[in-house]
Amino acid sequence: MKTTSFYLRFTIHSMSVDYEERGGVAFVRLNRPERRNALTFAMLDQLAQVFASVRGRRDLRAVVVAGAGPHFCAGSDIAELQTLDAEGARSRSVRGQSLCDAIESCGVPVIAAIGGAAAGGGCELALACHLRIADEDAFFSLPETVLGLIPAYGGTRRLPRATGHAAALSAMLANDRITARDALRLGLVNLVVPAGEAPAKAKELARRIADEAAPLAVRACLEAVTRGAQLPLADGLALETELFAGLFATEDAREGTRAFLEKRRPVFKGN
């Protein structure tokens, strides 16, 4: 596969999101380490731009999301939250939920590399990613009730879906942190690695998906799982059947089965 590379940097008032592509894999980095990468209004918009551009990209095979410094993301910028009235809060919630929905439905596997805190909005951002790799010192939390608030970027739906209601409510009501090891036990993360290694492991996983998996089949799996989770069982199974059948009209499916029979590595083209 041909390797392409370009680099973009979005910066507004020293609050930034970095974006880079190499060989079909995109790297998104929250770059506000002095505030533990706390999310501002501007950063939500920047991330929305990034994932709007990702959607529908046939040449992009995976995305890695990480934070600069020792923390993934400590949540929303509290100073900004303090300025909100009810209407502003509604708008902020809609923007955050729209971003997380865009990540989940972008059609490209998104892998979160999590070190340190994934708290509040940062936890919700991680939950919207399809796969999660955590440093052993990482933790997840939804501490909004100690601020008189609740999670508002989809956390009340996605955390129970990932861990079950009991663990999710404990995190929300009692401000219990979910450690990396507990997250692995609960199925919230795919892998726990030594401190500082999550970004490298996430890149390794992204590279494996990019180099080995058929891109159309990957997209179909993502759609079957993310859309299917919102459907009754019978409708979800019908969606699976349609996606499965649709792949048989693609060259990639013919190439994959032919390569298996010929005992060689397939060359997928995404068509």
**In a shared domain, residues 121 and 250:** no
Final residue belonging to a domain, choices 197, 212, 227: 212
Alpha carbons 260 and 217: distance in angstroms, whole number: 16
106 found inside a domain: yes
Q: Which residue has the tokens 């010929």?
A: 262
CB-based contact 54:106 (threshold 8 Å): yes
41-65 CB burial, b ≥16 within 10 A, e <16: bbbbebbbebbeebeebeebbbbbb
268 found inside a domain: no
CATH assignment of the domain containing 168: 3.90.226.10
31 found inside a domain: yes
What tens-digit pLDDT sequence spans the chain (271 residues)? 334 444 444 433 344 899 999 999 999 999 999 999 999 999 999 999 999 999 988 899 999 999 999 999 999 999 999 999 999 999 999 999 999 999 999 999 999 999 999 999 999 999 999 999 999 999 999 999 999 999 999 999 999 999 999 999 999 999 999 999 999 999 999 999 999 999 999 999 999 999 999 999 999 999 999 999 999 999 999 999 999 999 999 999 999 999 999 999 999 988 7
Helix (H, G, I), strand (E, B) or coil at 196: coil
**In a shared domain, residues 239 and 196:** no
Backbone angles phi, psi at 195, to 5 degrees: -50, 130
pLDDT of residue 270: 84
CATH assignment of the domain containing 226: 1.10.12.10
pLDDT of residue 12: 36
Element (H, E) at 80: helix 78-81
**In a shared domain, residues 200 and 239:** no
**In a shared domain, residues 149 and 226:** no
51 found inside a domain: yes
Closest CA to 73 of 148, 126, 16, 152: 126
266 found inside a domain: no
**In a shared domain, residues 180 and 219:** no
**In a shared domain, residues 31 and 165:** yes
**In a shared domain, residues 33 and 51:** yes
pLDDT of residue 232: 96
Alpha carbons 30 and 193: distance in angstroms, whole number: 20
Final residue belonging to a domain, choices 212, 234, 250: 212
**In a shared domain, residues 236 and 178:** no
**In a shared domain, residues 143 and 30:** yes
CB-based contact 109:64 (threshold 8 Å): no
Closest CA to 126 of 232, 47, 55: 47
Domain tally, the chain: 2
Closest CA to 200 of 139, 113, 271: 113
pLDDT of residue 56: 81
pTM for the predicted model, two decimal places? 0.92
The catalytic site residues sit at 124, 144
Backbone angles phi, psi at 187, to 5 degrees: 85, 15
Final residue belonging to a domain, choices 212, 233, 250: 212
Alpha carbons 111 and 116: distance in angstroms, whole number: 16
pLDDT of residue 271: 79
pLDDT of residue 238: 97
Sign of the Cα pseudo-torsion (56, 223, 130, 42, in order): positive
Alpha carbons 250 and 257: distance in angstroms, whole number: 12
pLDDT of residue 16: 82
Q: Which domain holds residue 236?
A: 215-261
**In a shared domain, residues 145 and 224:** no
**In a shared domain, residues 19 and 52:** yes
270 found inside a domain: no
174 found inside a domain: yes
271 found inside a domain: no
pLDDT of residue 14: 43
**In a shared domain, residues 152 and 220:** no
Neighbouring residues of 154: CB distance < 8 A, sequence distance ≥ 6: 96, 97, 100, 101, 124, 127, 128
DSSP track, 100-154: HHHHHTSSS-EEEEE-SEEETHHHHHHHHSSEEEEETT-EEE--GGGGT----SS
